């Protein structure tokens, strides 16, 4: 009986590292599922916001903060914008629009 307990304990101990990648994959999938799908916004509305409500120069972080506070854009539209805006400092709304349009 002691050998059986020892073998079961060893088997359980050896199985734990094999389960870690599976749990990590599941957790990542749940996190991604919780985020909205990226949806391309009406670019005319985006430009209107960038011209009327944003001061320049503006960093990516400043642009995203301004974007995330807007109620007129959905979470999916905000994600689309964030996914296409690389780090940097932008001098104008036109520069932001040019950047997101090519990404």
Over residues 38-94, the pLDDT tens digits come to 999 999 999 999 999 999 999 999 999 987 777 889 999 999 999 999 999 999 999
- Compute the distance between CA of residue 58 and CA of residue 93 in angstroms, rounded to an integer: 9
Least confident of 6-10, 23-27, 52-56, 88-92: 23-27
- Look-up of token digits 């073998």: 7
- Compute the distance between CA of residue 54 and CA of residue 48 in angstroms, rounded to an integer: 10
Residues 6+ apart with CB under 8 A from 54: 62, 63, 66, 93
The pTM for the full model equals: 0.65
**What are the backbone angles phi and psi of residue 58, rounded to the nearest 5°?**
-140, 135
Element (H, E) at 23: helix 2-34
């Amino acid at each position: 009986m002691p050998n059986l307990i020892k073998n079961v304990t060893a088997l359980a101990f050896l199985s734990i590292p094999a389960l870690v990648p599976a749990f990590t994959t599941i957790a990542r999938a749940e996190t991604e599922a919780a985020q909205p799908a990226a949806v391309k916004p009406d670019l005319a509305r985006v430009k209107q916001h960038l011209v009327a409500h944003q001061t320049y120069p503006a960093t990516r972080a400043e642009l995203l903060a301004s974007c995330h506070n807007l109620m007129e854009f959905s979470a999916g539209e905000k994600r689309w914008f964030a996914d296409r805006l690389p780090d940097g400092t932008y001098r104008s709304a036109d520069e932001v629009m040019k950047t997101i349009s090519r990404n």
